[in-house]
Structure 1
Amino acid sequence: MDIIVGDHLTKKIDKLKVLEDLTTNVKQIQDDVLEEILTLNSSTKYLQNFFHGRFDKEIFKKNVPVVTYEDVKPYIERVVNGEPSNVLSARPITGFVLSTGTSGGAQKMMPWNEKYLDNLTFMYDLRMHVISNNVEGLEKGKAMMFYFTKLETVTPSGLPARVASSSYLKSNYFKNRPSNWYYTYTSPDEVTLCPDYKQNLYCHLLCGLVQRNEVTRIGSIFASVMVRVIKFLEDSWEELCSNIRSGQLSEWITDIGCRDSVSKVLGGAQPEMANTIENICKQKCWKGIITRLWPKAKYIETIVTGSMAQYVPTLNYYTNDMLPLISTIYASSETQFGLNLNPMCKPEDVSYTFMPNVSYFEFIPVDGDKNDVVDLGDVKLGCSYEAVVTNFSGLYRIRIGDILVVTGFHNKAPQFKFVRRDNVVLSIDLDKTNEEDLFKAVNRAKLALDDSSDLMLVDFTSYADISTVPGHYVVYWEVKDKSQDRKIKKHMELEQETFSKCCLLMEDSLDNVYKICRFKEESVGPLEIKVVCHGTFDSLMDFFISQGAPIGQYKTPRCIKSGKALEVLEKSVVATFFGTG
């Protein structure tokens, strides 16, 4: 035991030293990363467009343009369609990472290679170190993690295309992961790898409930998934209890891997366990349901920044404000960015310390000269930037579309808070409403809903309706009764005064350009709130999954651009409201 403890302490010290070295030598490490990328890839067809002969940092910054995905898409498609990797990368491109396609529009396809997984595994290891330094006793239990994989597509070149989480979960990095506490899960790998997300989710829950007294942490990639889990549990707890009581898995679970592995986890009939879970779930009010079902859980690990902040009140409700919500990693389909080194902070205070060894980072000032692109080591406290990435997989100076603000430094490494996506907007005329402004407006209206009714906002989305003259903003709300957990049905009456006030508060929260268009020039009509029935946003999620979005990385789109998605919402509308006054 002494040897194990000593070895554990040594590993923690080693990781601490790595973290300190990385965050102390930011500029040198960034220069080394860029030199490595350029030295290896200088002969690629893409970079050859911008230089001849020696290629150093100065020439790179002078000649290689800052681009968007659409700019490099033709080069990516050449590799997708079978041209050699050296169109973009000297390292063999071994696949493509698909973006979720729900936060900013159409799904994107990014080239990747084993270096992406190397960096991801490195970040996971550091994440384990950071969490273990802040939470005690995790090694005494298991993690109930709601991880999902999706069937990959094969490109004409024969290379796989899949979301980042599936790329990791299907790789040898996951299969051969260390057998330590951090990678000990309640669910067998066969459940995680099941491509049918309903069977996957059901089996995740079943395994987690059977081992409820061993669960010390709960998690998913995005907070929206955790909310989805609770909704699924609401609909399935009786069947889950029946399975636990009998020791037999439901017949509709047809995936062989799930059936065989979960049957072993069930381990026979457990009527007392089933009765305990049943008594908890049959209560009318589900406030604190997570902590009652999993009493030893110490935190929920999931992304609650950006658009995921919407789900913080709902998760706090289901945990009775007793479990910290921990956002650990900031990453995208292009690269990993950084870690939250203060994981126990409040969700609204989360900042990510950028790791200088995973990619070369540059930043475009939001306020200032857009051509004055600065390095990671030169950003200024309090300033806002759009991130630009050059990675090891063949992307050079690509704009990510994320707007970040510098909140501090860990040694010399900047810490960034995610502010918003740059390209998610509502617009009718000259008005331009971005995601951050929309969230502020909804949050202000939500306070009024909380104060004047027993309802709570479950989820929302919006779109710019130009079918009317003038056009106007439509915001879809799904609400529920917070005191009794009753769902809003078509026969329930909703308070006209309350929702009209919410409409006015939202409009009052939007910027001056919107107000001029709305009230002075009347080129924008009154904002409309449409209340939808219970389960509508589950149906919306099902729709996007049917269109290719991954369950494990799904995020409710805050601005709807799909006509078919609008049909899902419209058929569920139970009431509409406009502001009066």
Structure 2
Amino acid sequence: MGFKAALSKVFAWYVNRHLNTVRQNAVALQQKTFSNLIHDAKNTAFGTDHHFDKINSYEDFKKHVPVRDYEELRPYIERVVNGEADVMWPGKPAYLAKTSGTTSGVKYIPISKESMPEHIKAARNALLSYIHETGKADFVDGKMIFLQGSPVLAEKHGVQTGRLSGIVAHHVPGYLQKNRLPSYQTNCIDDWEEKVDAIVKETATQDLRLISGIPPWCQMYFDRLSVVSGGKKIKDIFPNFKLYVHGGVNYEPYRARMEESIGFKIDSIETYPASEGFIAFQDSQKEKGLLLMVDAGIFYEFIPSDEYFNDNPTRINLKDVELGKNYALIMNTNAGLWGYSLGDTVKFVSKNPYKIVVSGRIKHYISAFGEHVIGEEVEQALMGVAAEEGVEVIEFTVAPQVAPTTGELPYHEWFVEFGKEPKDPAAFALKVDKALQQKNIYYFDLIEGNILQPLIVRSLKKDTFINYMRSQGKLGGQNKVPRLSNDRKIADELKEFIV
């Protein structure tokens, strides 16, 4: 064991002591965060407009600050983007994180000098928690690769602007810089496919021990490594590769193919970073769920997802959440986001400590007939049956077919790119449909009542989703294929790729 690995074990022990304190005092820490946020922002334009000087409790806060999504907060955010100070948080932001919204086009999320360190600390603590629990620290002595956006930043009215992963690249601790790949020059390549090829060339002979990135883009990296190595497994290219860090999308639909490419069942750490804040990370290989970051400058609120679109939905803070209930996640941050609806839905799997799983997107669901099918349900239904049948799923998306041209009943249309096709496609689709019925009672009722017919699976050509994302200018980086749509926009684009 090298010096860095040995030192990391000591540091991991120290950090775990702190995390234990956090775990045991989550509600109190959230209350402290709430009070600090209100105090620090009371003289901003937003604080003045929303009477922060009169807010002494969470109940006061709910009366004065409504829940808003990005589009509804845009008037304030545009003032920040245009260079105005003291709008949503004291001063100007340290950065503006540029991200693609599903409904708002390009979004600019403020990152303050107070919030930036929390991104780095949470990522660090995820690794240290793994080291503390498992005792495995050898990866610290080898090379680590982070598949991320370009670190090249633009400037808007004196504020550095870029992708979150590119901004974070400027804050990697010095003790990791020598271990980190790819090189700055390679990381700056804009074209994703050109960048992956350059990364393959640069890393194929290195002692890679940790790889981090969104699963579909890591899979592309693995595929190209395999090609240039004459078909080798990743374990044979990087014999000391022992840890995979991921976030952004659910890993389970990709796990089987990733582990087939790697050549063994690898340890993995799930993280939940967003431009708006680093929300949670997996702190244990033995327990389910991601540890919620309750002392990181974010005060969380939760709305039951089935009430989200009501005129007056229930709005609670951490102390009142229930296990197993689907909530829309609302954030108030030390970068100046207030009553901000992130768009994600989460479920609590533990309250001692508070741990969550990400269950989907509040706007990525299908409810064309009142079924309100969510991402977690379709992923579990498809991947459960695929595992039983020995079927390999590369990627998929689902949309409603409300008005079939042949006069048949409406249905959910599943567009699936298979690595290994089902032997009996019709039987496979029926099993997936039965699994979905078991997970969603409303869908079950619609099938039973002959309002919908069972779902139909469309098998797609190889590389369909890569080609689709390329056509949308969203290949690589933090971009993800939406799993669910309530319209036919993506479905109609994919029809030409049906086998």
TM bucket by the smaller chain? Answer: 0.7 to 0.9
**Paired AA for residue 218 in structure 1:** I
Equivalent residue for 1:297?
A: 241
Cα shift at 1:539: 0.7
Which residue of structure 2 aligns with residue 75 of structure 1? 76
Contact 1:150 1:550 in 2 (8 A): no
Contact kept? 1:33, 1:359, Cα under 8 Å:
yes
Separation (CA, whole Å) in 1 of partners of 2:485 and 2:240: 39
Q: Distance in 2 between matches of 1:307 and 1:505?
A: 22
Query: CA 1:339–1:563 in 2, change beyond 3 Å: closer, same or farther?
Result: closer
- Whether 1:215 aligns to 2:224 is no
For residue 167 of structure 1, what is the aligned residue in structure 2? 167
- TM alignment of 1:5-154, pairs within 5 A: 11-51=11-51, 53-58=53-58, 59-80=60-81, 82=82, 84-101=84-101, 108-133=107-132, 134=134, 135-149=136-150
Q: Using structure 1 for the length normalisation, give the TM-score.
A: 0.74
Corresponding position of 1:258: none
CA change 1:351–1:3 in 2 (3 A) is closer
How many residue pairs get aligned? The number is 487
Aligned match of 1:425? 365
Q: Is the 8 A contact 1:338 1:352 kept in 2?
A: yes
Structure 1: distance between partners of 2:358 and 2:268? 16
Report what 2:418 is aligned to: 479
* 1:380 CA drift (Å): 4.3
1:178 aligned to which of 170, 174, 179: 174
- Check whether the contact 2:45–2:86 (CA below 8 A) recurs between aligned residues: yes
- 2:399/2:487 contact within 8 Å kept: no
1:311 deviates by 0.7
1:357 match: 296
Q: 2:30 touches 2:294 (CA, 8 Å); kept in 1?
A: no
Cα displacement (A) at 1:365 = 4.2
Decide whether aligned partners of structure 1 residues 183 and 353 sit closer, same or farther in structure 2, where only a CA change above 3 A counts: farther
Contact 2:2 2:138 in 1 (8 A): no
Partner residue, 2:442: 513
The residue type equivalent to 1:551 in the other structure is: G
| TM superposition score normalised by structure 2 | 0.85
Alignment of 1:333-482 (within 5 A): 333-342=275-284, 344-345=285-286, 349-366=288-305, 372-409=314-351, 413-447=353-387, 449-450=389-390, 455-466=391-402, 468-469=404-405, 471-481=410-420
Structure 1 letter corresponding to 2:449: K
Q: CA shift at 1:314, angstroms? A: 1.3
For the aligned residue pairs, the C-alpha RMSD in angstroms reads 3.4
Superimposed CA distance per residue, residues 184-216 of structure 1 (whole angstroms, 9 cap, x where no aligned partner)? 1242222223223223211222222111xx222
Q: Does 1:317 align with 2:256?
A: no
Equivalence for 1:555: 480
What letter is aligned with 2:25? N
Distance across 2 between alignment mates of 1:73 and 1:550: 27
Q: What is the alpha-carbon distance in structure 2 between the residues aligned to residue 384 and residue 519 of structure 1?
A: 25
| Structure 1 residue 555: Cα displacement | 1.8
Alpha carbons 1:145, 1:219 under 8 Å: kept: yes
The runs of 5 or more residues in structure 2 that have no matched partner are: none
The CA distance in 1 between the partners of 2:313 and 2:491, in whole Å, is 39
Displacement, 1:432?
Answer: 2.7
Structure 1 pair 409/425, CA: closer, same or farther in 2 (3 Å)? Answer: closer
CA distance in 1, matches of 2:372, 2:286: 32
3-state SS of 1:529 partner: strand
What is residue 259 of structure 1 aligned with on the other side? none
Contact 1:457 1:479 (C-alpha < 8 Å) held by counterparts? yes
Could you say if the C-alpha distance between residues 480 and 417 of structure 1 is closer, same or farther in structure 2, counting changes exceeding 3 Å? closer
- CA-CA distance at 1:66 after TM superposition: 2.6
Distance 2:445 2:25 in 1: 49
The CA distance in 2 between the partners of 1:563 and 1:385, in whole Å, is 26
8 Å contact 1:306–1:419 — kept in the other structure? no
Secondary structure of 1:18's aligned partner: helix
Deviation string, structure 1 residues 327-349 (Cα, Å, up to 9, x no partner):
1x22222111122110x348xx3
CA 1:335/1:418 → structure 2, altered by over 3 Å: closer, same or farther? same
What is the distance in 2 between the residues matched to 1:4 and 1:445?
Answer: 44
**Kept after mapping to 2: 8 A contact 1:44/1:87:** yes
Query: Alpha-carbon deviation of 1:63?
Result: 2.2
Q: Contact 2:68/2:339 (CA < 8 Å) preserved in 1?
A: yes
- Which residue is equivalent to 2:224? 232
Q: Cα distance 1:399–1:554, how it changes in 2: closer, same or farther (>3 A)?
A: same
Cα 1:355–1:52 shift into 2, 3 Å = closer
Q: Is the 8 A contact 1:449 1:499 kept in 2?
A: no
Aligned 8 A contact 2:181 2:203 in 1: yes
Residue 2 of structure 1: CA displacement?
A: 12
Quick one: structure 1 residues 471 and 389, their matched pair in 2 at CA, closer, same or farther if it must change by over 3 Å? same
Cα pair distance change 1:149/1:388, threshold 3 Å: same
Counting aligned pairs with the same residue, the percent is 16
Letter in 2 for 1:75: Y
Q: Is the 8 A contact 2:305 2:327 kept in 1?
A: yes
AA of the residue aligned to 1:331: P
Residue equivalent to 1:188: 183
Deviation, 1:5, is 8.7
SS at match of 2:114: helix
**Aligned with 1:362: secondary structure?**
strand
Distance 1:449 1:74, change over 3 A: farther
Q: Do the aligned residues in 2 keep the contact of 1:539 with 1:568 (CA within 8 Å)?
A: no
Structure 2 partner of 1:261: none
Q: Contact 1:420 / 1:436 at 8 angstroms: preserved in 2?
A: yes
Q: Which runs of 5+ in 1 are unaligned?
A: 238-276, 282-288, 482-487, 489-493, 575-581
Query: Aligned partners of 1:310, 1:439: CA distance in 2, in Å?
Result: 7
Judged with a 3 Å threshold, the aligned counterparts in structure 2 of structure 1 residues 432 and 377 are, in CA distance, closer, same or farther, namely closer
Secondary structure at 2:335's aligned position in 1? coil
> Which structure: larger Rg?
1
What is the aligned counterpart of 2:427 among 501, 508, 532? 501
8 Å CA contact retained: 2:303, 2:315: yes
Q: Distance in 2 between matches of 1:145 and 1:294?
A: 15
> Post-superposition shift, 1:537?
1.4
Distance 2:62 2:178 in 1: 41
In structure 2, what is the equivalent of residue 541 of structure 1?
469
Q: CA deviation at 1:92?
A: 0.8
